[in-house]
Structure formats: structure tokens, C-alpha cells
């Protein structure tokens, strides 16, 4: 059986299939105002080069391993063992996978509409972690609830495992007439890795560096390393995220949207941390005046001009590959998809802008310079247009244009140095144009 | 043909099979006495993620490549070409493989009883190296002798290749009635890489860093990076290891044990090393009063409660995969194995504890503080219990409990700071509880 | 269908094949004169461990991914998507591949005659880059012209993409009677990545580190890290390379040769570069007196003693795998190939030896010490002999001997410290003996 690559099967429940994906990007991010950086402007990058294997094992077991080599190092996609008992509507997963954190985040990067996922997934560090999850679904596969427990890090060589994540996701996905609905909600509690006498954590993809939280987001493109919105590091013990998901698919049309609220459990001015509890970087860190909260959301609308329906897995509540009606191999044009998205990210919180710099050795505080404080956080509002061409299943060419409006943030003072408006009210725009070539097998 | 993954064959002697293994661990190592460390306590870790390929080539040739990505970098399992002439009982191997160093070390990590191998393999740095070996076996495949020559390092980018290893292993594996016997012996001579004007070696898995030897071992778990027994670095030119192996398998019961004696050829007080021979770290290093010797051994007893026989390859003299009698896929319970092990490691030597710190530029010596000297080495005695469940071939769940008694070593003074007993006689215990999920294909 | 590994095909144009290669090297590079280095002498090294996949996709598409793990990190071979329209003699490639830079460089490392490619490919940093190329060929597949545009770097995590390469290659490959001819020409323009306020570039395989060019070559072996010829870094904006290729294959005999001329567009004394344009390393760099030029060439003659013809792909103008007539699996001896090569590399240019050290902050210049200036560059003349044995297709054992004569260069003063001849006229010789075991599938 061919699924981009040959799937081999054998008696008793064995199967095996090589897996791979290549995502090659090129594009440009404009330089706003007076900001100059080699990290803006034109860039090309191989975003993902994944090779792996998946299969099933007798006894209703499945496995998947996918290593990503795109950054000249080794990262991982899903690495898991799953168990689906024959006579119970249960799914158990153990390994390295998304911490039940957002419909778009959990969907494969092969199947999301735009080149990069929405901003809150980037800002809130929704990512794969090492853990285990149990799910229950109803018989008609339109109600699914899953809960999991994760380490604070992904596959890496770190041995410090104080941090952990508890996460749950629930979704209801009825089909009403021709319309497929998706309604979901998620909750994550993330306990940060404790400090270790000022030594920096070696963990990959932690929600924080030890007890220094930081939320920031790129302008909808991984072709730059610059984040226009960025809270900077501040001392915190844990955070919580609540998320909502909604989507509707009606023939070739679909709409979808998600929102997430994050609340950080922060340290306070006057707190003292000594010995093993001392903070990295000289035991000095920013502390907000109270627990700060952040918010992100997007809404998307799209259609297949060529009549396809957007791929959707109603059991798992994730986007899947669309089935191309007239592939070029049969003399057709392939499929064309157009979509528009509004994406909003608010990393602005007065508790952080008014925060002081606390010396955790002595408990005394100082106040940073005004512009530095006002530059913490910022809001980012993006308008995105996307065109995707699928010549056949397994192949996709993408073009995205984004207009990104930024208010405040750490770079506002550099972008607009002459303004007399307070730094956190200065706004500017960035244009992002990007293209991707995507092969999967 | 299915062996966890499909094996493809073709005329003339071609075959090909993908390979992989995933080992996911979770567990805890207790904090003894007054010692505090983030590297103790609960931890989860992906111990191995291996992907590779193996096959045969016409002309009685075979190859195997296995890369390990578990630590977000690239390491290697076996990478080799083998040649078995049709008309001679000879096996030639060239590549990256274990330096004929111990029955348990040479056996696949998929097939050893406990989550980690015995302590002396860790302490004596028995590992894969780049080299070539030739073996001869008798017709009945119960006598095997192999000799090899290896570089001092594994696959890496290092180009300094002064160090080398000469190794030999012999085993006699008769079947007497229903009892499979294994008797083996090994010898290794390891010449350390010369100093390079104080520059540190880039070689992976060297038996030493240039001419600085160091032997140490974890407490039977890779869930911590802490070694309670550790000789520290001392100046040495080479070492030799003699090992003995014995095992007996009788139906579902088996016993096994190994011992290794290591003797280091050390530098002496007053030695001078200048120019390219200068030592890393300021040309100052510890020198023992005479050549120190170390020792490790273990004995194991186990049984399959479900009647299986422990897998054993009598030609190669290594453990192999057991054949599960009643897999869960046929309505059975799978296989259950229980085992107990005594593991002893003695890194204690008066020659090292009395050793001085030699300045290799001048040949003059100083004596380190008493507690620092007494903390060199230490002994570790471990009692291990293990339970393994194999639902089917290729899948294994493991639980281990270990009680580890330590006497002396570099941490004894920290663990037991108030004791009036000499540091090298202070003893304490550590508990280790660990679980593993293992998939191979 | 078996091609070293099984190739699976399916209806509509699908195919899939795992790929791999292992190159294990051992050998020695002699220590000339008074030079002592741990990086000379005997060494063993795994030169390449590649695992990957290739396949075809309906719609006349093909892909290839090959990751190289030999240096305990991740590098890449070809990673590309190709498109060959059914009704037009066009080939489009997008991905990571050789920048159309030399017949020997573009040919697979499995199929070049000697263990390492010629010196100018090493010195001029001909390598794979991220880019796109379009080729046109005639109906009889003996005329081919290709042009491509590349980023200045390969697959890596770098996001600074100012540098770029424009490249073109043309080849005419008629078969005249029994003689296969190859005539080719290449041109590359390489624009260097701009400086970034003194920050060092993170790009892999760039033709320069930001605007600091450097050309150097190993003595025909990757068993040492020492380059006897080396221009050192100097300030430059871009370079151009013109290359010529010629080969003829007549039955078991063949001759081949290539030459490349490189011209660097350098900065001049008195130039000022401030702010983002400042140079790495304190804004101080060597500047030649005028644009320096370098040259390299080789000529090779060889034959198959066992009557095979050297593999050649006349459409793509590259060497390919020879077809073994009497493999050992059919009772034959395999194939034996002998070859001799003359290889010349001239990195000597008075403009560089007379160059000054320019302070780009002030535009003032100083002159380095005479011996240091005279040591820039050097020439390397190598005489190589090679013997290759192919027991079967897909397997090759190689032995190379090289006599390398060096004149000048940065090590001449160390090798021959007592000479009264100017440093750039001191000459010495190095012997290189190397062997390789090569498996591909």
C-alpha cells in the first residue's frame, strides 16, 4: 500500500512505513523604521528535514519515530508508543509528543494552512514534551477527552526533571448535515524547573529557563530570529494556559479559530532565594507587581477553489491531508486553496511594565530605566493571506503574505527613536512575504 | 520476512532491513545524607532512539549502521562490515563496535537483564571503538576466539589517533544435556592518546583524556549524572583489563557473572613532560605512588516465570532476544522475567590516595588536602532486583530496584559531613527505582 | 528491483529506495622537517556515514534526502526535489546540492577515483548550497546547460542570507566511435555575506566568514586537519570562479582533467567599515594590494585491469558506478582499477604577500612581519597513485599513495626554520598513504 512511501504489512498486525518530510522556505521580512539587522530582509532556510519510521505491532500497538535534522543538529517530531485496546475506546500514548496544547499545534505541520502556526503557540512555547497521556472517546468518535502528564522538557540529555506539565484536552466534533463542527478546550498547568544554584538549565523546549519565564513570538515567520514582542525574562514558578478551539467545515469552505489565555505565577519583590534556589544570572531578576496574564487568538477563513474539502480527523480533532480531486498526474490542475487569517497576540501587562528588578540574595529591589520597562511585552496584530497549490497529494507549494502591526515591545524605541509617544504606545508595521516547497512521504 | 520490521531479500545473497529501538526511562535516585542536587530525585529521559539499517551483500558480506539520536546529538551503535567466507570458519569485522570487552557489554542493550549494564563496564569505559577484528570458531560453534585492533576513539571528528587498543576474547559455550554453559575470558591493552601541548582531546569515548586516566561509575542508573565513586584524573600512559565471564542456562533458569581487573600504567612523581608532551590543565596532574589497580564483578540469577528460556547466541557468546511462548496477541500473558543481581565495584587504591600532585614542568610535587586525597576512588556495592514483562517479542517493560552502598569516594565528605571517621571509610546508601519502556524493530 | 537496497515501485510513478553509504578510512600523513603535530602521523576516521531515502512521485517528480552523521553531528548530502516535464527536455532542481561547481565535485564521492577529490575543490570551497537550478539538454543527451541561484550557505540554522551564488555549467558529451568525450565549462559568481557589526557568521560552508575570504587545502587527505597551503583571512566582497573540464573514455582506459581560476574582489588599504559593516575580529583585516587570483588543476589517467569501463552519465556529465564484469559472487576476481594523478594548486599571489593589515575603523594600515606576509598562500603539487578493488558493485576497497610538494605557505618557516631562503621559496615534501573501505546501498 502506498502512502507517499510504501507501507509493508504482515500477518498478526505488523506494519511498517518509512516517513519523511522536507520543507524548504524562502522569503523576506521587512526592516521597520530605523531598525537595521542582518536577520531581516531576504532569507532562505530549510525548515524541516525529517526522516523516521512508523508501524504497528501485534496487540493493538503502534509506534512512530521522527527525527528532524534541519538545523544541523537533531530534534524530534513524534516519538511514541500507542496502545488502543481492542475492546475499549481508549488510547494510551507514551513518548515525546505535543502536550495537548492547541488544535493547530497538534496538527501536523504538513497540514496547517499557513507556513507557520499562529503566534500564541510560538509565544506560549506549546511544543512536544516527554510524557504519557490517556484518552477516551465515544463510539461515534465525535467526543474525545485526553489527559496527560509530561516532563518539562523534550528528548534531550538533561537530567534535571523538576519541571512538569499536567494537560488535558477535550473536543466535541459532531457532523450536522454536511457541516463538520469542531469544538475544543484545553488546559495546561506547567510547573517550572527549580533553580540550581544559578546554573542554567540544559533542557530543550522548557516553558522556562529554570524559574525565569519568557514569552515572545516571531512575526509569523521563521525566516528571522527577531521577535518584535517579547516580555523578557522574569522570575516565576509556574503558569497555566486555558485554550478554546472552534472550527466548521462546509464542503470546500471552512472557518476556524482558537484563543489561549496564559497566567503566570510569579515571584514578588522582596523574595529571597539562596543556595540551590539562587537564580541564573547573578541571582537578580525582574519581578512583576502581580501575576501577569497574556492572551493570543486567531480566526481563519478559507476555501478550496478546486472543490476539495479541508482534511480533518474527527476522532483526534486535528487537521489532516486534503484529498486532491484532479491531480496533475491525471491531467488536472491539482488543488488550489486560499485563506485569510487574523492573528492577535497580547504580551502587554502593566504588572510587568511596572515590575522591579529584585536582588534575590538580599530581597532589595531597583527600578530599571523607563524605556526599558515600557519595552517589556508589546502586542502584535497580523493580517495574513495564503495561497496553497497541491499538484498531487503529498506535495504542496505555499505563498504567504502577512502585514504585522506591532505596538510597543523591546524594539519600538529602536524602530521609532524620535517619537515623543511613550515606548509602549509607539506602533509600526512589518511586511512578511514567504514561500514554501513541501514534500512528505 | 518480518523481524520487528520487514526484511527484504533478493537473489544472490542480498537482504535489507530497517532497524530501530526506543528506550524511554523514568525513575528516581535518592539523595543520600546531606547531599543536595537537582541531578538526583525523579527524572525521565529518552535513553536511546536509534534508527538504522542492516543487510547482507553477495559474497558473504553483511553490514549494519545504527545512529543514536537520544541526546539531541548523533552517537553510534554498531557501524560495520562483516565477512564470513563460505568455506572457512572465520568472521572478519571492520567498523565501529565493542572492543571485545565483556559479555554483557557486547550483548545488545535490548537483551541485557537490567536497565543499565553492570558497573565495571561503566567505570572501565568499555565501549565501541573504531577498529577491525578477526574471529575463528569451531565447527560446532561452541568455541570462539577473536582478536582486534582499535583506535582509541569511536566515530567522531577527531584526527588525533595516537591511542589504540589491542583486545582479544575467547569463549567456550558447550551444551551439556539441557544446560547451556558459557565460559569466556577477555584481555584488553589500551594505549592512551599522547598529550598535545596541553590541548584537550576531542575524541569521543576514549579510555582517557589524552594521558589523564579517570574511572568512575553511576549508581546503576543513567537517570543521574552523579558518580559516587570516582578516581578523579591522574597521569597515566596505558591500562590493561583482564576479564572473566561465566553463565549457565537451564530451562527457564539462568545464572551469570563476570569480573574484570584493571591495572593502570601510571606516571610517577618527579616525571617531567614538556612541549608537545605537556599535560592538559596547566601541566599539573595527580600521580599515584605506584600503578593502581581496580576491580569490578557481578553475579546474577534469574528465571522466566512463564517458562521461557533466556535468549543466548552460543556462536557469538552473547545474550539474545527470548522467544515469547504466549504473547498477548494469542491471548497469553506474555513473558515475565525476574532477576536479582549483586554488583561490586572497587575503585579504591592506596597508591592513588597517597598520590601526590606532580608539576610536569618542574618535576616537583605537592600533597593535596587529606580529605581530597581520601576521596579518590571509593567502592560501590549494589543489590538489584528486576522484573521484566514482554507482551510480545520486540517489546519489553522493565522495573528495577537497586540498593547501592557506597564507601568513600569524592562525595562521602559532603554526604556525611559531621562524621569523625576518615573520609574513605564513611559509608552511605542510595536507593534507585527505575522503569523502562522498550520497543525494537 | 535491487540497487544495493530494495527499490519499491507502485502504479502511477511512485518509487522509494533507502540509501546509505559508509566510508571508513585509515592512513598516515608524514611530518615534514621540523614540524611536529598530533594531527599528522597515523589516523583512522569514519569519513562518511550517510542514511537517507530517494524516490519518485507521480508527475515526473523525484526527491532525495541524505543526512551525514560521520562527525557526530548532522551534515547533508543532496536534499532535493527534481522536476522533469514529460514533454520538455528540462530538469528543475530545488534544495541542497552542489553549486554546479566541477565535474569531480558534482560526481558522487562513491565514484571518484581517489579517496579525496582534487585540491582546488577543497581550496575554493566548492560545496553544496541551498538553491534552485534549471537545466536544458538536447534530445541525444549529449549537450546540457544548467544555471542556478544559491544562498551562500547550506542547510543550517543561520538566518543571515545576504550572501548568494550565481552559477552555470555547460557540457558537451559526444560519443565518437568507441570513445566517450566530455567537455565542460563552469562559472560561479559568489557574493559574500555582509558583515554584521563584527558578529561572526553562523553559516555552514559559506565561501567566506562574512567578508573575510580564506582559501586553503589539505594535502589530499582528510586524515589530517593541517593545511600546508593557506592564504589566511583577508577582506573581500565576492569572488568569481571559471572552470574547464575534459575527459575521454576509451574502453577500459580513461583520461580526465579540470582547471579552475578564482579571482577575489578584495577590499583596499584605506577602506573604512563602521557600524553594521564592521569586520569580525576587532575590525582589523588583511587587504591585498590588488584583487588576488588563484589557480588549481589536475590531470588523471587510469585503467581497469579487469576490462571494465569507467562509469559515466553522459546526460548529467558526471562519473557513475562502473559495472563489474566478474564479481567475486560469480567466482570472479572483481574489478581492479589503477590510476595516476597530477594535482596542482597555486594559492600564491604577490598582491596578498605585499598586503597590509587595514584598520577598518580608521582606514590606517600597518605591515605584518616579513615571514608572516611571505607565508600567505603557497603552492602544492601532488603526485598520486591509486589502486581500487571492487569485489562486487556497491563495494570498493581503495589504496592511495601521494607525494605532496609544498612551496611556501604558513608552515614553511616551521618546517624549515634554519633555511636562509625566503619563506615563500622554501619547499618540502609530505607523503600520504591512505586506505578506504566503501559500502553503498
pLDDT of residue A209: 81
pLDDT number for residue C432 = 97
Q: C30 CA to chain A: closest CA distance, Å?
A: 33
**Chain A CB within 8 Å of residue C331 CB:** no
Contact across the interface for A51 and C74, Cβ inside 8 Å: no
State residue B329's pLDDT score: 85
- A281: alpha, beta or left? (left if phi > 0; alpha if psi -120 to 50): left
- Please tell me the predicted confidence (pLDDT) of residue B204: 72
Size of interface A-B (CB pairs under 8 A): 107
**pLDDT of the residue at C64:** 95
Q: How far is B313 from chain A (nearest CA, A)?
A: 25
Residues of chain B contacting residue C41, judged by C-beta atoms under 8 Å apart: 161-162
* pLDDT for the residue A203: 73
Of A18, A71, A392, the CB nearest to C53: A18
Q: What is the ipTM, given to two decimal places?
A: 0.91
Closest CA to C298 of C128, C176, C116, C99: C116
Q: Residue C185 class from Cβ within 10 Å (0-12 exposed, 13-18 middle, 19+ buried)?
A: middle
Helix ranges (DSSP H) in C136-284: none
> Across A30-70, where does the E strand assignment appear?
41-57, 61-68
pLDDT exceeds 80 at position B132: yes
User: Which residues, including other chains, have CB under 8 Å from residue C220's CB and lie 6 or more apart?
Assistant: C114, C116, C119, C343, C382, C384, C400, C402, C404, C432
Task: Using CA coordinates, name the residue in chain B closest to A210.
Answer: B38
Vertex A266 angle, CA A265 and A268, to 5°: 140
Between B195 and B337, name the one with better pLDDT: B337
Taking the Cβ of residue B53 and every Cβ of chain C, the question of whether any pair is shorter than 8 Å is answered with: yes
- Per-residue confidence at C200, pLDDT binned at 50, 70, 90? confident
Measured distance CA(B51)–CA(B18) in Å, rounded: 8
Question: Which residues 98-157 of B have a C-beta within 8 angstroms of A?
Answer: none
How far is Cα B28 from Cα B13, in angstroms, rounded to an integer?
48
Q: How many residue contacts between B and C have a Cβ separation below 8 Å?
A: 107
**Residue C142: band (very low, low, confident or very high) from pLDDT cuts 50, 70, 90:** very high
Tell me the shortest Cα–Cα distance from C284 to chain B, in angstroms. Answer: 27
Taking an 8 Å cut-off on Cβ atoms, the answer to whether B49 and A65 are in contact is yes
Q: Which residues in B lie closer than 8 A to residue C324 (C-beta atoms)?
A: none
CA–CA gap between residue C30 and residue A65 (Å, rounded): 45
Q: Mark yes or no for CB contact A65/B6 under 8 Å.
A: no
> Which of B156, B162, B196 lies at the smallest CB-CB distance from C72?
B156
Q: How far apart (Å, rounded) are the C-alpha atoms in residues B268 and A228?
A: 61
CA–CA min distance A208, chain B (Å): 16
pLDDT in tens, C63-87: 999 999 988 889 999 999 999 998 8
What is the mean predicted confidence (pLDDT) over B380-393?
96
Identify the band that residue B39 occupies on the pLDDT scale cut at 50, 70 and 90.
confident
Q: In this structure, are residues A421 and A373 in contact, taking their beta carbons and an 8 Å threshold? A: no
Domains identified in chain C and CATH numbers = 21-49+85-440 (2.40.160.10)
Q: Are C318 and C101 in contact (CB under 8 A)?
A: no
Give the range among A165-174, C10-19, C144-153 with minimum mean pLDDT: C10-19
pLDDT in tens, C390-405: 999 999 999 999 999 9
Best mutation site among B28, B45, B227 for testing chain A: the one with the most A CBs within 10 Å? B45
Q: Per the CB < 8 Å rule, is C2 touching B13?
A: no
- How high is the pLDDT of residue B209? 81
Q: Judge: A53–B24 Cβ closer than 8 Å, yes or no.
A: no
Mean pLDDT calculated for residue range B330-351: 96
Average pLDDT of B229-237? 95
Mean pLDDT of C270-276: 90
Task: Note whether B245 and B173 are within 8 A (CB).
Answer: no
Contact C420/A at CB under 8 A: no
**Can you give the pLDDT at residue A44?**
92
Q: Give the whole-angstrom CA distance, residue C119 versus residue C129.
A: 19
| Residue A220, phi-psi category: left (phi > 0), alpha (psi -120 to 50), beta (remainder) | left
CB contact under 8 A, B73 and A75: no
Give residue C300's pLDDT band: very low, low, confident or very high (50, 70, 90): very high
Q: Which of B2 and A51 is assigned the larger pLDDT? A: A51
Distance of CA A77 to the CA centre of its chain: 13
* pLDDT score of C258: 98
B26–chain A nearest CA distance, Å: 10
Nearest-5° Cα angle at A390, A384 to A391: 145
Q: pLDDT category, B208, cuts 50, 70, 90?
A: confident
Q: How far apart are alpha carbons A197 and B38 in whole angstroms?
A: 9
Chain C residues inside the 8 Å CB shell of B159 = 39, 43, 45, 223-225
Is C65 in CB contact (< 8 Å) with chain A? yes
pLDDT at B235: 95
**Contacting residues of C for B202, CB less than 8 Å apart:** none
Is A36 part of the contact surface with chain C (CB cutoff 8 Å)? Answer: yes
User: Has residue B316 got a pLDDT over 80?
Assistant: yes
Q: What's the pLDDT band for B71 if we cut at 50, 70, 90?
A: confident
- Which of C46, C73, C329 shows the shortest C-beta gap to B130? C46
Predicted confidence (pLDDT) per residue in B88-113, tens digit: 899 999 999 999 999 999 999 999 99
CA distance B158 to B276: 17
Nearest CA-CA distance, residue B20 and chain C, Å: 13
- A-chain residues near C59 (CB < 8 A): 327-329, 391-392, 395
Residues A413, A228: contact at Cβ < 8 Å?
Answer: no
Q: Which partners does chain B have (≥3 C-beta pairs < 8 Å)?
A: A, C
- Measure CA C190 to chain center: 15
CA dist A430 and A35 (Å) reads 11
How many C-beta atoms surround the C-beta of residue A420 within 10 A?
5
Contacting residues of C for A18, CB less than 8 Å apart = 16, 18, 53
* Inter-chain CB proximity B65 and C20 less than 8 Å: yes
* Mean pLDDT, range C298-312, rounded to an integer: 97
d(CA A53, CA B282): 49
CA atoms within 13 A of residue C235's CA, in its CB half-sphere: 28
Quick check: B12 pLDDT over 90?
Answer: no
Residue range B303-321: average pLDDT? 96
What confidence tens digit (pLDDT) does each residue in B392-402 have? 999 999 999 99
Q: Which of B388, B71, B402 is nearest to B220 (CA)?
A: B402
Q: Minimal Cα distance from B210: which residue of C?
A: C38
Q: Are residues C73 and A71, on separate chains, in Cβ contact within 8 Å? A: no
Mean pLDDT of chain B: 93
On chain B, the residues whose CB falls within 8 A of the CB of A59 are 327-329, 391-392, 395
Closest CA to C225 of B150, B196, B206: B196
Average pLDDT score, chain C: 93
Q: What is the pLDDT of residue A329?
A: 85
C280 — contact with chain A (CB < 8 Å)? no
As beta bridge partners, residue C54 has C17, C64
Q: How far is A22 from chain C (nearest CA, A)?
A: 8
**d(CA C253, nearest CA chain A) in Å:** 41
Angle at C22 between CA C20 and CA C26, to 5 degrees: 170
SS (H, E, C) chain B: CECCCECEEEHHHEEEEEEEEEEEEEEEECCCCCCCCCCCEEEEEEEEEEEEEEEEECCCEEEEEEEECCCCCCEEEEEEEEECCCCCCEEEEEEEEECCCCHHHHCCCCCCCCCCCCHHHHHCCCCEEEEEEEEEECCCCCEEEEEEEEECCCCCCCCCCCCEEEEEEEEECCEECCEEEEEEEEEEEEECCCCCCCCCCCCCCCCEECCEECCEECCCCCCCCCCCEECCCEEEEEEEEEEEEEEEEECCEEEEEEEEEEEEEECCCCCCCCHHHCCCCCCEEEECCCCCEEEEEEEEEEEECCCCCCCEECCCCEECCCCCCCCHHHCCCCEEEEEEEEEEEECCCHHHHCCEEEECCCCCEECCCHHHHHCCECEEEEEEEEEEEECCCCEEEEEEEEEEEEECCCCHHHHCCCCCCCHHHCEEEEEEEEEEEEEEC
Chosen from B35, B38, B438 to mutate, greatest number of chain A CBs within 10 A: B38
Indicate the SS3 state at residue A364.
coil
**Contact by Cβ (8 Å): C62, C82:** yes
CB contact under 8 A, C157 and A71: yes
Flag residues of chain A having pLDDT under 50.
none
pLDDT digits (tens, 9 = 90+) for C116-125: 999 999 999 9
Select the residue of C43, C49, C441 nearest B55 (Cβ to Cβ): C441
Q: How far is C335 from chain B (nearest CA, A)?
A: 14
Give the rounded percent of residues in chain C with a pLDDT score beyond 90: 83
Which candidate from C38, C73, C394 shows the least CB-CB separation from B160? C38
Neighbours of chain C (3+ CB pairs under 8 A): A, B
Chain A neighbours, 3+ Cβ pairs < 8 A: B, C
Name the band, by pLDDT with cuts 50, 70 and 90, for residue B197. Answer: confident
Over 90: is that where the pLDDT of B72 sits?
Answer: no
Set of chain C residues whose Cβ sits within 8 Å of the Cβ of B63 = 22, 439, 441
Lowest mean pLDDT among A330-334, C187-191, C302-306: A330-334
Q: Which residues in B lie closer than 8 A to residue A161 (C-beta atoms)? A: 41-45
What pLDDT is recorded for position A285? 94
Average pLDDT over residues C228-234: 96
Looking at the complex, does the CB of residue B73 fall below 8 Å from at least one CB of chain C? yes
Amino acid at each position: 500500500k502506498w502512502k507517499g512511501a510504501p507501507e509493508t504489512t504482515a500477518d498478526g498486525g505488523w506494519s511498517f512505513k518509512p516517513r519523511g518530510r522536507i520543507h524548504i522556505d524562502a522569503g523576506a521580512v521587512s526592516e521597520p523604521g530605523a531598525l537595521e539587522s542582518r536577520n531581516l530582509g531576504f532569507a532562505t532556510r530549510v525548515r524541516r528535514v525529517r526522516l523516521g519510521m512508523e508501524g504497528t505491532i501485534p496487540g493493538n500497538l503502534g509506534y512512530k519515530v521522527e527525527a528532524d535534522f534541519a538545523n544541523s543538529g537533531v530534534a524530534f517530531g513524534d516519538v511514541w508508543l500507542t496502545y488502543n485496546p481492542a475492546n475499549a475506546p481508549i488510547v494510551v500514548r507514551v513518548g515525546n509528543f505535543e502536550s495537548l496544547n492547541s488544535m493547530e499545534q497538534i496538527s501536523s505541520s504538513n497540514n496547517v494552512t499557513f507556513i507557520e502556526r499562529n503566534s500564541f503557540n510560538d509565544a506560549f512555547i506549546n511544543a512536544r514534551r516527554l510524557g504519557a497521556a490517556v484518552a477516551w472517546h465515544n463510539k461515534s468518535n465525535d467526543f474525545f477527552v485526553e489527559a496527560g502528564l509530561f516532563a518539562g522538557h523534550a528528548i534531550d540529555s538533561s537530567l534535571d526533571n523538576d519541571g512538569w506539565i499536567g494537560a488535558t484536552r477535550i473536543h466535541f466534533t459532531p457532523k450536522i448535515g454536511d457541516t463538520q463542527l469542531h469544538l475544543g478546550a484545553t488546559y495546561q498547568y506547567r510547573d517550572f524547573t527549580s533553580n540550581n544554584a544559578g546554573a542554567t538549565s540544559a533542557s530543550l523546549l522548557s516553558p522556562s529557563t529554570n524559574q525565569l519565564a519568557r514569552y515572545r513570538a516571531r512575526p509569523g515567520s521563521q525566516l528571522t530570529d527577531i521577535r518584535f514582542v517579547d516580555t523578557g525574562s522574569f522570575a516565576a514558578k509556574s503558569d497555566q494556559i486555558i485554550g478554546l478551539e472552534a472550527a466548521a467545515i462546509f464542503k470546500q469552505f471552512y472557518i476556524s479559530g482558537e484563543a489561549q489565555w496564559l497566567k503566570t505565577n510569579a515571584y514578588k519583590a522582596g523574595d529571597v532565594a539562596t543556595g540551590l534556589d539562587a537564580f541564573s544570572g547573578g541571582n537578580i531578576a525582574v519581578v512583576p507587581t502581580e501575576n501577569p496574564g497574556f492572551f493570543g487568538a486567531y480566526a481563519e477563513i478559507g476555501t478550496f477553489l478546486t472543490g476539495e474539502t479541508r482534511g480533518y480527523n474527527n476522532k483526534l480533532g486535528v487537521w489532516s491531508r486534503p484529498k486532491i480531486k484532479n491531480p496533475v498526474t491525471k491531467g488536472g490542475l491539482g488543488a488550489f486553496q486560499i485563506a485569510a487569517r487574523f492573528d492577535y497576540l497580547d504580551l502587554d501587562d502593566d504588572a510587568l511594565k511596572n515590575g522591579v528588578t529584585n536582588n534575590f540574595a538580599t530581597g532589595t529591589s531597583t527600578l530599571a530605566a523607563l524605556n526599558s520597562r515600557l519595552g517589556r511585552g508589546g502586542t502584535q496584530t497580523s493580517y495574513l493571506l495564503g495561497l496553497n497549490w497541491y499538484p498531487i497529494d503529498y506535495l504542496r507549494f505555499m505563498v504567504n503574505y502577512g502585514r504585522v502591526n506591532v505596538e510597543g515591545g523591546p524594539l519600538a524605541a529602536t524602530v521609532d527613536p524620535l517619537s515623543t509617544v511613550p515606548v509602549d504606545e509607539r506602533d509600526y508595521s512589518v511586511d512578511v512575504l514567504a514561500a514554501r516547497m513541501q514534500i512528505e512521504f
